[in-house]
Amino acid sequence: MLKVEGITVCYGQIPALRNVSLTVEEGELVTLIGANGAGKTTTLRAISGLLPLASGRITFEGREIGNAAPRTVLALGVAHCPEGRRVFPHLTVRENLEMGAYLRRDHQAVAQDMERLFDRFPRLKERLNQPAGTMSGGEQQMLAIARALMSRPKIVLFDEPSLGLAPNLVERTFEIVSDIRREGTTVLMVEQNAYAALDMCDRAYLLESGQVMEQGTGQAMLANDHIQRAYLGG
């Protein structure tokens, strides 16, 4: 479904990704793990069209999307749920959700989708008219996830959905990601919480200094010596 082939991405002259390749098949939950600065966020931003490729190719359902405009990528069904709860702080919860659906013309279905999302995120319904920036960190994370789903994506790119959340909310967030996948949406998730990410995924890639160093099924990666020593504390 999503194919990243040998991409190099630079900030100025400095490469942040070097010859990175990965694939995500339809229905899979794939995770990308690695230390701070390894290039995980850069990978997602390149897929979403937010960063240009210096070389390499990205295709989604057979179409070339490397260097495409972000709205083109979104229109094809790729939603990005950014790190750090990047909701629009001055817009209300409702307006943030509407922004997630801004490319859709099926307004009635958008309204129905919003109602359906409230079953999963009841707190958002209670706070529809509240400016998003005044909500708690956990609420903003839920809003960021809900906003991504409002585009009816085929695949969601999650960037560190558990970042900065209290332990019970971390667990809840991973449950939501698993539910989204179970309902048929493909997921590519960046996570620093390596144990949880490997435990819940089908396949994973380890990035180190902008390169893919290991790849395999979640269970194989959990059993991998290098990963155990460097990322799982044992």
Among 40, 85, 127, 181, binds ligand ATP (CB under 6 A): 40
Residues in the interface with ligand ATP (CB under 6 A) total 11
- Tokens encoding 177: 């990601």
Site for ligand ATP in 175-194 (CB under 6 A): 192
- Tokens encoding 50: 């937010």
Give the residue among 93, 98, 95 at the shortest CA–CA distance from 123. Answer: 93
Among 6, 37, 52, 89, binds ligand ATP (CB under 6 A): 37
Query: Nearest distance from residue 42's CB to ligand ATP, in Å?
Result: 3
Among 2, 30, 33, 42, binds ligand ATP (CB under 6 A): 42
- Tokens encoding 26: 């339809």
Among 2, 34, 87, 153, binds ligand ATP (CB under 6 A): 34
Does residue 36 bind ligand ATP (CB under 6 A)?
A: yes
Q: Which stretch binds ligand ATP (CB under 6 A): 39-47, 73-81, 171-179, 217-225?
A: 39-47
Nearer to ligand ATP, 36 or 168 (CB): 36
Map residue 58 onto helix, strand or coil. Answer: strand
Site for ligand ATP in 10-29 (CB under 6 A): 11, 16
- Whether residue 150 contacts residue 81, with contact meaning beta carbons closer than 8 Å, is answered with no
Residue entry with tokens 């799982």: 232
Among 39, 66, 82, 161, binds ligand ATP (CB under 6 A): 39
Largest CA distance in the chain: 52
| d(C-alpha 49, C-alpha 100), whole Å | 16
DSSP strand E in 48-123: where? 55-60, 63-64, 78-81
Question: Which pairing describes strands 186-191 and 155-159: parallel, antiparallel, or unpaired?
Answer: parallel
Nearer to ligand ATP, 16 or 222 (CB): 16
Q: Which residues of 183-221 are buried (b: 16+ CB within 10 A; e: fewer)?
A: eebbbbbbbbbbbbbbebbbbbbbbbebebebbbebeeb
Query: Nearest distance from residue 127's CB to ligand ATP, in Å?
Result: 28
Nearer to ligand ATP, 37 or 122 (CB): 37
Give the residue among 119, 118, 121 at the shortest CA–CA distance from 142. Answer: 121
Nearer to ligand ATP, 13 or 129 (CB): 13
Nearer to ligand ATP, 34 or 138 (CB): 34
Query: Nearest distance from residue 101's CB to ligand ATP, in Å?
Result: 27
- Tokens encoding 21: 């390749």
Among 2, 22, 30, 41, binds ligand ATP (CB under 6 A): 41
Give the interface with ligand ATP as residue ranges (CB under 6 A): 11, 16, 34, 36-42, 192
